[in-house]
């Protein structure tokens, strides 16, 4: 198949300077954690990148106190002044973009093409966007609204710095202060962000970063002096958090799992649809809550679409995340790889047909080839459970009504895709799909101006856009 070979085109690591160990960022200073430090590794090589402090509940308490103290100053600043800090942060992110992209790819395993062209530019854009809102809240219908206080934020490992931006930018714009816990497998860009806060002369305590695993997260969520909890992650943990904040005055927003249907009609532009399918499920190794993990193809074009999809998948390049030609990077952790393997094996044992392109996996690191299951029934685990990996389940339908029925037949409701050339059908489908984001003739597009979030068990509240402000104001 290979007409010509690609020469390796690795992005240089020299641009990042990873320290052997990192502390917590509390009240504008890096400090030791009281827990046992943990290691963060490069998932593409299993090489240790750094040792990172674990925050205990005492450390979290110090961070919350710092945030509480800073809240008085920060919330009293005129919106225009808060805005200028956020603009400053956005600019520094742009200036340090290459460093952040390389660091993200090293710690997360995602291709540099994505961290460089998607994650980091969106991070800067998010700060720019919410910076502009800080002094315009009254015009957005939030006149007289107050910030909530200290926001406790817990974010996942799939888009480490981008999820940080989604959480911190609107919180700060509205006048809140934050204690944020990054995921334990990807803490490095959050710690780099702490340094950016210092470069921007952000007042101490406005942003605090506490690293650690689930217990640290639970301490953030459960702290009595936290006024707002924002979480992105699994539906299972989301439920636990919703139970934990029950009966308190804490405001809660949750951005959880998904099992999105990507629906291809017979009149769709097949080549574009196939690009959309590939982007929908293989972007970021499928570590995307809104991934188009269920492909619903109209029966009449099933063969044609699948043939085209297999051909396209055979051209994807899997390997070194820092290589600029890499399409598919490493799975983020051994734990996640085990989960993807076990769900894929279950798919096979339940009777679906498994296919992957010929694809050599590196010896070291965590890798999983792009995988497509056909002959999938709605009752199969791989059609119901979120795999969070590069695994696509293909189902078919005959009528638009059947497509809607199948697409909505899930407890999730985060996103959906529609591929058809008929405008009225797009709008008819979009009306009926119970999902927070509907991509028509496109997929996995994100923008700070566009609200993102789910229906049903995909969580509640929106991030991005005007709607994203609501989560951080007492409205």
**Residues in touch with other proteins (CB under 8 A):** 125, 141, 235, 238-240, 242-243, 246-247, 254, 256, 411, 426, 430, 435-442, 445, 447, 449-453, 455-457, 459-460, 462, 465-467, 470, 475
The Cα 304–Cα 298 span in angstroms is 11
Structure token digits, residue 447: 């923008």
> 33 vs 454, which CB is nearer to other proteins?
454
Q: Report in angstroms how near the CB of residue 150 gets to other proteins at its nearest.
A: 19
Q: Report in angstroms how near the CB of residue 112 gets to other proteins at its nearest.
A: 21
> 228 vs 462, which CB is nearer to other proteins?
462
Q: Report in angstroms how near the CB of residue 410 gets to other proteins at its nearest.
A: 12
Q: Report in angstroms how near the CB of residue 241 gets to other proteins at its nearest.
A: 8
Q: Report in angstroms how near the CB of residue 441 gets to other proteins at its nearest.
A: 6
Instruction: From the candidates 114, 255, 457, 463, give the one annotated as an active-site residue.
Output: 255
> 367 vs 460, which CB is nearer to other proteins?
460
Whether 255 sits among the annotated catalytic residues: the reply is: yes
> 75 vs 442, which CB is nearer to other proteins?
442
> 222 vs 451, which CB is nearer to other proteins?
451
> 9 vs 427, which CB is nearer to other proteins?
427
> 152 vs 238, which CB is nearer to other proteins?
238
Which positions are catalytic? Answer: 255
């Amino acid at each position: 198949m290979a007409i010509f070979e690609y020469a390796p085109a690795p992005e240089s690591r020299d641009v990042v300077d990873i320290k052997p160990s990192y502390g917590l960022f509390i009240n504008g200073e890096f400090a030791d954690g009281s827990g046992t430090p943990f290691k963060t590794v490069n998932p593409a090589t299993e090489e240790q990148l750094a040792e990172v402090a674990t925050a205990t509940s005492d450390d979290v308490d110090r961070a919350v106190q710092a945030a509480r103290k800073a809240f008085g100053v920060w919330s009293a600043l005129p919106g225009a002044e808060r805005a200028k800090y956020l603009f400053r942060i956005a600019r520094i992110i742009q200036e340090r973009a290459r460093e952040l992209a390389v660091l993200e790819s090293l710690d997360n395993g995602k291709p540099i093409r994505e961290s460089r062209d998607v994650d980091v530019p969106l991070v800067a854009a998010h700060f720019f966007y919410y910076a502009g809102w800080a002094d315009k809240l009254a015009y957005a219908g939030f006149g007289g609204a107050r910030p909530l206080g200290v926001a406790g934020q817990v974010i996942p490992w799939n888009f480490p710095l981008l999820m940080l931006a989604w959480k911190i930018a609107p919180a700060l714009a509205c006048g809140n202060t934050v204690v944020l816990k990054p995921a334990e497998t990807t803490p490095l860009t959050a710690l780099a962000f702490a340094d950016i806060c210092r470069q921007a002369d952000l007042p101490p305590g406005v942003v605090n970063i506490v690293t650690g695993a689930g217990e640290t997260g639970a301490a953030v969520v459960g702290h009595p002096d936290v006024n707002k909890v924002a979480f992105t992650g699994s539906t299972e943990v989301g439920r636990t958090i919703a139970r934990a904040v029950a009966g308190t005055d804490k405001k809660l927003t949750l951005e959880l799992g998904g099992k999105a249907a990507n629906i291809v009609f017979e009149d769709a532009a097949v080549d574009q649809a196939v690009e959309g399918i590939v982007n929908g499920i293989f972007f970021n190794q499928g570590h995307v809550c809104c991934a188009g993990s269920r492909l619903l193809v109209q029966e009449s074009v099933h063969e044609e679409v699948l043939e085209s999809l297999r051909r396209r998948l055979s051209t994807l390049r899997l390997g070194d995340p820092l290589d600029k030609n890499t399409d598919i990077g490493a799975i983020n952790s051994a734990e996640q790889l085990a989960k993807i393997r076990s769900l894929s094996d279950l798919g096979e044992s339940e009777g679906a047909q498994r296919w992957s392109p010929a694809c050599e996996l590196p010896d070291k690191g965590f890798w999983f080839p792009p995988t497509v299951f056909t002959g999938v029934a709605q009752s199969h685990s791989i059609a119901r459970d979120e795999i969070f990996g590069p695994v696509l389940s293909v189902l078919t339908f005959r009528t638009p009504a059947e497509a809607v029925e199948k697409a909505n037949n899930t407890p999730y409701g985060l996103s959906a895709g529609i591929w058809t050339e008929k405008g009225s059908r797009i709008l008819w489908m979009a009306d009926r799909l119970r999902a927070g984001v509907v991509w028509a003739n496109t997929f996995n597009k994100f923008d700070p101006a566009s609200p993102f979030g789910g229906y049903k068990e995909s969580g509640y509240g929106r991030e991005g856009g005007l709607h994203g402000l609501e989560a951080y104001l007492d409205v």
